[in-house]
Amino acid sequence: MTDTYGMAQFNHQRFEALWLALREELDTIFQKDGLVGVIEALKLQQLDGGFIQDDLSGVIKYRIIDEGDPGRYFIVQYNPRRAMRFSGAGRRIPPPGLVAVHGGCFLCRDNIRWQQRGIECGYDVFVDSPKGQNHYIIWMNPFPLMHNHVTVAMANHRPQAWLLSSMERGGLLTRMDEIGHDFLSLLEQMPGYVGFYNGDGAGATIPHHFHFQFFRRMDGQGDFPLERAARRGGEHGLEDGPWLVPDYPITAIHFRGPKERVEAQLLDVVGTWEGMFTDPQVVTANLVGALDPKNREIFDLYFIPRDKTFNRGPGMVGVIAGLELLGEVVYSTEEEKQSLDRGQVNYDFVARIIASVEAPRARELWHALRERWDGGGVD
Neighbours of 223 (CB within 10 A): 16
Q: Which amino acid is at 258?
A: P
pLDDT at 18: 92
Q: Which residues pair with 61 in a beta bridge?
A: 77
Rounded to an integer, what distance in angstroms lies between the CA atom of residue 161 and that of residue 159?
Answer: 6
Q: What are phi and psi of 306, to 5 degrees?
A: -135, 160
Cis check for the bond before 80: say yes or no (omega within 30 of 0): no
What's the CA angle centered on 85, arms 82 and 63, to 5 degrees? 20
CB 76 within 8 A of CB 339: no
Q: Pick out the chain residues at pLDDT < 70.
A: 1-7, 82-89, 166-171, 234-239, 278, 311-318, 375-379
Number of Cβ within a 10 Å radius of residue 177: 18
Question: What pTM, to 2 d.p., does this model score?
Answer: 0.92
CA-based angle 212:218:224, to the nearest 5?
70
Collapse the DSSP code of 378 into the 3-class scheme (helix H, G, I; strand E, B; otherwise coil) and give the result.
coil
- DSSP of 282-339: GEEEEEEEEEETTEEEEEEEEEEEEETT--B-TT-SSB--HHHHHTEEEE-SHHHHHH
| Sign for the pseudo-dihedral over CA of 271, 277, 281, 282 | negative
Tell me the pLDDT tens digit for each residue of 37-73: 999 999 999 999 889 877 787 888 889 999 989 889 9
Q: Residue 108 is inside which H or E element, if any? A: none
How distant is the alpha carbon of residue 344 from its chain centre? 29
How far, CA to CA in Å, does 373 sit from each of 269, 345, 379? 11, 40, 9
Transcribe 185-250 into DSSP letters: HHHHT-TTEEEEEE-TTTT-S-TTS-EEEEEEPPTTT---HHHHHHHHT---SSTT--EEPSS-SS
Q: What is the pLDDT of residues 219-250, one digit of tens each?
A: 877 899 999 999 887 665 446 779 999 999 99
Q: How many CB atoms are located within 10 Å of the residue 182 CB?
A: 23
Task: Assign domain 17-376 to its CATH architecture.
Answer: 2-Layer Sandwich (3.30)
| Rg of the chain in Å (alpha carbons) | 21
In DSSP notation, 124-190 reads EEEEEETTEEEEEEEEE-SS-SSTT-EEEEESS---S-SEEEETTTTEEEE-HHHHHHHHHHHHHT-
Tell me if 253 sits within 8 A of 268, measured CB to CB. Answer: no
For the chain, give every domain's residue range: 17-376
109-121 per-position pLDDT tens digit: 999 999 998 899 9
What span, in angstroms and rounded, lies between the C-alpha atoms of 199 and 179? 11
| Other CB atoms within 10 A of residue 263 CB | 21
Report the distance separating Cα 44 and Cα 46, nearest Å.
6
CA pair distance 265, 377, nearest whole angstrom: 11
Max CA pair span of the chain? 78
